[in-house]
Amino acid sequence: MIGLFWENFRISLGSIFANKTRSILTALGIVIGVLSVTLMGTLISGLDRTFEKSMAGFRSDVLLISRMEWFSGDVDWWEMRNRPRIREEYGEKLLARSQFVEAVAPVSERGGSIIKGDRRIDSRFFGTTTDYLATNTSVDVEKGRFFSDGEERSGARVLVIGGDVADGLFPDEDPLDKYVKIGNYKFRVIGVLKKMGKFMGLFSMDNQATMPLGTYKRLYARRGWMTMRV
C-alpha cells in the first residue's frame, strides 16, 4: 500500500515537472479563484456594514412620504410628476386625526450655492419645522442650536449648516452668528450639525443647510418638492 502511494506521488510529481507551464497556470488559477472568493466576501461584508450605517438614521417607526419613488421601477417619471403635490396641511391633519402620530415634519428642498465672502460651496438646503429633529435620529446639533417655533412662524433668516458647509466656508473661524448668503438673501448661522458621513458611500450628508419652513416658503417657493417625515 505504501509502495503504491509513493508510486502515485512519483508519477504526479513527474507530471508536474514535465508540464511546468500548465502546472503553474493551474496553480495560479486556483490562487486567483480563492482570492476572488475571499475578496468578494470582504466586499459584500463591507457593503452590508455601509448600508446598515447609512440606514441607521431612518428609524423603524418613521414613515417617509414622497410624491416621487426612490426606486421608480416600471413607473415613468412623468407619471410620478402628475401625482398630486404633498401639502403642509396634510401633515397637520395626520397629526390631528391619528392617536399614533407623535410628530410630522414637512420638508422642502432645493439646490444652490451658499456664499461667505469669496468662498462658495454648492449645497442642498432644506426648509422644515422643529419636528424634524424628532423624526430624524441621525441629525444632531453639535454647535449652537436648532431654530425655534417662533423663528419658524416668523420666517426668520436663520440657518443650521452641515459639517462640510462649515468646513468649506469657515475653515479658520467659528461659524456661529456669522452671516452667509443664499442667492440674494443673507442668513445668520445659528447652529452646526454633527457630521454624519456619506450615504451608502456615495454622497455627503454633511453638505446641507436647514432653515425654517416659513422662511423657505417666503423666500423661494410656496409650491415645490415637499416630503413628509411622520
Q: How far is CA 119 from CA 12, 89, 113, 116, 122, in A?
A: 71, 38, 10, 5, 10
Q: Which residue, chain included where needed, has cell 436647514?
A: 210
**118 and 220 co-located in one domain:** yes
**40 and 69 co-located in one domain:** no
Q: Which of 33, 55, 77 finishes a domain?
A: 55
Is the pLDDT at 70 greater than 80? The verdict is no
Whole-number pLDDT of residue 2: 57
Range of the domain at 33: 2-55
Q: Which residue has better confidence, 15 or 63?
A: 63
Which residues does residue 191 pair with via DSSP β-bridges, in sequence order? 144, 160
**43 and 135 co-located in one domain:** no
Closest CA to 229 of 64, 73, 31: 64
Is the pLDDT at 89 greater than 90? The verdict is no
pLDDT digits (tens, 9 = 90+) for 155-189: 899 999 988 899 989 988 999 999 999 988 999 99
Q: Which of 55, 75, 91 finishes a domain?
A: 55
**89 and 191 co-located in one domain:** yes
Strands 226-229 and 208-212: unpaired
Q: How far is CA 19 from CA 22, 30, 31, 166, in A?
A: 6, 17, 18, 65
**118 and 183 co-located in one domain:** yes
Band of pLDDT at residue 27, cut at 50, 70 and 90: low
Band of pLDDT at residue 98, cut at 50, 70 and 90: confident
Is residue 123 a contact partner of residue 209, using CB atoms and an 8 Å limit? Answer: yes
**19 and 73 co-located in one domain:** no
**200 and 144 co-located in one domain:** yes
**157 and 91 co-located in one domain:** yes
Whole-number pLDDT of residue 85: 75
**112 and 190 co-located in one domain:** yes
**92 and 166 co-located in one domain:** yes
Average pLDDT over residues 15-20: 57
- pTM here is 0.69
Band of pLDDT at residue 202, cut at 50, 70 and 90: low
User: Which of 48-52, 168-172, 218-222 shows the lowest mean pLDDT across its residues?
Assistant: 48-52
Q: Which of 35, 55, 75 finishes a domain?
A: 55
Rounded percentage of the chain residues whose pLDDT exceeds 70: 63
**95 and 130 co-located in one domain:** yes
Q: One-letter amino acid identity for 115?
A: I
Whole-number pLDDT of residue 224: 57
Is the pLDDT at 196 greater than 70? The verdict is yes
**26 and 123 co-located in one domain:** no
Q: How many domains does the chain have?
A: 2
Average pLDDT over residues 19-23: 60
| Ramachandran region, residue 109 (left: φ > 0; alpha: ψ -120 to 50; beta: rest) | beta
Whole-number pLDDT of residue 105: 82
Largest CA distance in the chain: 96
